[in-house]
Amino acid sequence: EYTGQSEKRLENAFAATIVEGSSVTIECRVNKPLVSVVLEDAQGQVTELSRAADQPLLWTCRLTPAASQ
């Protein structure tokens, strides 16, 4: 919405460049049930992912970076 660009899906991406103020949804599919999942960035900031209610092997989080990371 912010830039007028459509959503993009990056499969198996480890790095992405986005416009400041944009949001990114991260989806992780695992091969066995897990109790919790976290994402830790290079600076040590930890983000907890949420389990999808209808798909127990799918974990997601939405990030809105405020600046370059």
Among 2, 45, 7, 42, residue whose Cα is nearest residue 27:
7
Q: What share of the chain is helix, strand, coil (3-state, %, to 5)?
A: 0, 35, 65
Among 13, 32, 38, residue whose Cα is nearest residue 24:
13
Q: What is the pLDDT along the chain (69 residues), one digit of tens a residue?
A: 556 777 777 677 677 778 887 888 889 999 999 999 998 877 888 899 999 999 999 999 998 877 665
Strands 55-63 and 50-52 turn out to be antiparallel
Structure confidence at residue 10 (pLDDT): 65
Contacts of 18 (CB under 8 A, 6+ apart): 24, 65
